[in-house]
């Protein structure tokens, strides 16, 4: 095989894996879910277990009172609400105590030294008395019956953890389209998680609404960045199932800028990469779950390298074998994609509305975040403690 042949094989390999991740895997899941989909439990007919909601807060003075009020208004409301103040330097602790004073089942725990979200989760879980622990971000507002739909999944005794549907409120101004891209991303993720869950178990959860049986809870190891991924995968590796409850909906304000959203994704990606080195999260005894994990999560980390490798290899093929018209076509399609990403970047900078271009920009930016996360790990940067994007 000459250089042109090798480059052609590499092009097919790289483009094929990208196509599989973005298109074929979701389609396969959707078809399997239609054929093998399990019957959903009826939320209204299930006894709700005693529930403890744990809200970890660092410098959330702007939303903590609203979050406590939102939690108290749920139907059913949590039997116990624990707010963990993780070393806040603003008025989070004072405001939380004031908001909690009217409800006897709300307690505010002050953790003076900041340890990061994982440490705060461990701190709150140690004080919880519920049969089910529901971990929530302070900035995440739940719809009224979100908890009912979340808890309904626990009617299946094989289920150890359940997460809900994270949604992003539209941007407050027409200038910024970040929220629209975030919303599209989460709808895409919801489809995959719903399909995975329908045929057994999902390998993805969101930490803003993640419930776990107290008996299945294991304290998060020190240094854990992606708490939701660790809980999900370690639960699956122990033989328990993780489900997605699409009707359990929570809302969060969109990031104010692309830079803030990229920082968030960069941190999440770095945590996901580091998590792969923990043997306790690999479901090696569950082939179907392992295949989903490789397809949904592991392959995503390889995407920017596949994108770069596929483009370079494609250029080499066209250069050495101009008569291979199929590869000329794939190169043109790739260049169009990069052109749309560039147009999306300009649209984002100028406030123009062009959804297709912004979608390609969002995909490219996400892959760039992976490369930056790899660099961060290489230089030893820590994302354990971080400042959330302003909302």
Cis peptide before 76 (omega within 30 of 0): yes
- Strands 159-169 and 209-213, sheet pairing: antiparallel
Distance CA 379, CA 374 (A): 9
Q: What is the pLDDT of residue 14?
A: 97
Residue 387 pLDDT more than 70? no
- Find tokens 């999944």 and name the residue: 153
HSE-CB for 313 with a 13 A CA cutoff: 19
Mean pLDDT, rounded, for 371-382: 86
Contact between 237 and 282 under an 8 Å Cβ cutoff? The reply is yes
* Predicted TM-score (pTM) above 0.85: yes
As a whole number of Å, the CA-based R_g of the chain is 22
Mean pLDDT, rounded, for 369-373: 91
Mean pLDDT, rounded, for 191-208: 92
Residue 384 pLDDT more than 70? no
Distance CA 174, CA 194 (A): 31
Per-residue pLDDT tens digits for 84-124: 999 999 999 999 999 998 888 999 999 988 988 999 999 99
- Find tokens 């392959």 and name the residue: 299
Distance CA 76, CA 93 (A): 26
Q: What is the pLDDT of residue 255?
A: 60
- Give the residue from 51, 46, 17 showing the smallest Cα distance to 214: 51
- 3-class secondary-structure state, position 192: helix
Q: What is the pLDDT of residue 285?
A: 94
More confident residue, 364 or 187: 364
Q: What is the pLDDT of residue 175?
A: 45
Give 391's pLDDT tier (boundaries 50, 70, 90): very low
For the four alpha carbons of 318, 324, 326 and 328, in that order, the dihedral sign comes to positive
Which residues lie across from 82 on neighbouring strands? 54, 107
Q: Which of 35-39, 121-125, 365-369 has the lowest mean pLDDT?
A: 35-39
Mean pLDDT, rounded, for 137-163: 94
What letter would DSSP give residue 220? Answer: P
More confident residue, 19 or 263: 19
Give 41's pLDDT tier (boundaries 50, 70, 90): low
Q: What is the pLDDT of residue 259?
A: 61
Max distance between CA atoms of the chain, in angstroms, equals 77
Mean pLDDT, rounded, for 382-390: 57
Distance CA 293, CA 83 (A): 32
Q: What is the pLDDT of residue 268?
A: 82
Q: What is the pLDDT of residue 389?
A: 52
Return the beta strands (E) in the chain as ranges: 51-57, 80-86, 106-111, 132-137, 141-142, 159-169, 209-213, 241-253
Give 356's pLDDT tier (boundaries 50, 70, 90): confident
Distance CA 296, CA 300 (A): 7
Distance CA 229, CA 304 (A): 21
The pair of structure tokens assigned to 351 is: 């406030």
- Strands 209-213 and 132-137, sheet pairing: antiparallel
Q: What is the pLDDT of residue 263?
A: 72
Q: What is the pLDDT of residue 337?
A: 93
- Indicate the angle between helix axes 117-127 and 227-237, nearest 10 degrees: 60
Best mean pLDDT range from 41-45, 71-75, 176-180, 357-361: 71-75
Q: How far is CA 181 from CA 10, 30, 42, 254, 287, in A?
A: 31, 22, 33, 10, 33
Residue 219 pLDDT more than 80? yes
């Amino acid at each position: 095989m000459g250089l042109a042949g090798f480059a052609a094989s590499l092009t097919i390999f790289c483009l094929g894996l990208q196509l599989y991740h973005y298109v074929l895997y979701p389609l396969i899941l959707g078809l399997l879910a239609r054929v093998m989909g399990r019957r959903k439990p009826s939320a209204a007919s299930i006894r709700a277990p005693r529930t403890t909601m744990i809200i970890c807060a660092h410098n959330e003075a702007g939303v903590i009172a609203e979050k406590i009020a939102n939690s108290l208004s749920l139907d059913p409301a949590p039997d116990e609400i624990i707010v963990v103040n993780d070393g806040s330097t603003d008025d989070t602790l004072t405001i939380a105590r004031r908001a909690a004073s009217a409800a006897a089942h709300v307690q505010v725990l002050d953790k003076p030294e900041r340890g990061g979200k994982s440490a705060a989760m461990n701190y709150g879980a140690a004080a919880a008395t519920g049969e089910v622990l529901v971990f929530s971000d302070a900035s995440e507002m739940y719809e009224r019956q979100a908890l009912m739909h979340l808890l309904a999944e626990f009617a299946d005794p094989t289920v150890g953890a359940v997460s809900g549907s994270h949604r992003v409120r539209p941007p407050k101004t027409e200038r910024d389209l970040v929220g629209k891209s975030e919303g599209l991303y989460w709808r895409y993720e919801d489809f995959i998680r719903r399909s995975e869950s329908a045929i057994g178990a999902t390998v993805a959860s969101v930490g803003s609404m993640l419930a776990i049986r107290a008996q299945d809870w294991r304290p998060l190891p020190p240094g854990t960045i992606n708490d939701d991924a660790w809980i999900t995968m370690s639960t699956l590796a122990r033989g328990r199932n993780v489900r997605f409850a699409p009707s359990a909906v929570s809302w969060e304000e969109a990031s104010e800028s692309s830079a803030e959203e990229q920082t968030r994704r960069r941190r999440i990606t770095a945590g996901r990469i580091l998590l792969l080195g923990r043997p306790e999260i690999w479901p090696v005894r569950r082939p179907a779950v392992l295949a989903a994990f490789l397809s949904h999560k592991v392959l995503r980390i390889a995407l920017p390298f596949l994108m770069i490798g596929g483009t370079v290899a494609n250029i080499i093929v066209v250069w050495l074998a101009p008569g291979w018209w199929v590869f000329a076509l794939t190169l043109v399609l790739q260049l169009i994609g990069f052109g749309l990403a560039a147009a999306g970047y300009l649209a984002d900078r100028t406030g123009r509305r062009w959804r297709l271009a912004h979608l390609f920009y969002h995909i490219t930016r996400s892959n760039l975040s992976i490369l930056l996360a790899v660099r961060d790990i290489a230089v030893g940067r820590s994302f354990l403690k971080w400042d959330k994007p302003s909302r």
